[in-house]
Amino acid sequence: MIRRDYHTYTTFCDGKCTAEKMVCAAISFGMDEIGFSGHAHQPFDFDYCMSKENSSAYRAEVRRLKEKYADRIKLYLGAECDLFTDEDMSAYEYIIGSAHYLKFGDEYIAVDAGADTLKYLIDGKFGGDAMAMCEEYFKNVSMIGKTLHPTVVGHFDLVKKYNAGGRFFDESDPRYVAAWKSAADELLKDCKLFEINTGGIARARQTEPYPSPEIIEYIKARGGRFILSSDSHRADTLCFMFDEYERYADKTRLFE
pLDDT tens readout for residues 181-204: 999 999 999 999 999 999 999 998
Amino acid at 81: C
Is the Cβ–Cβ distance between 97 and 146 less than 8 Å? no
Half-sphere exposure of 212 (CA within 13 A, CB side): 16
The whole model's pTM is what? 0.95
Across the range 96-119, mean pLDDT stands at 96
What are the structural domain ranges in the chain? Answer: 4-248
Alpha-helical segments (H) within the chain: 19-28, 52-68, 115-120, 126, 130-142, 144-148, 174-187, 199-202, 213-221, 242-245
For residue 219, is pLDDT > 90? yes
Note the pLDDT of residue 252: 73
Rounded to the nearest 5°, which phi and psi values hold at 226? -135, 145
pLDDT tens readout for residues 108-164: 999 999 999 999 999 999 999 999 999 999 999 999 999 999 999 999 999 999 999
Note the pLDDT of residue 1: 72
Length of the chain in residues, anyone? Answer: 256
CATH superfamily of domain region 4-248: Metal-dependent hydrolases (3.20.20.140)
What would the DSSP string read from start to end of 134-154? HHHHHHHHHTHHHHH--SEE-
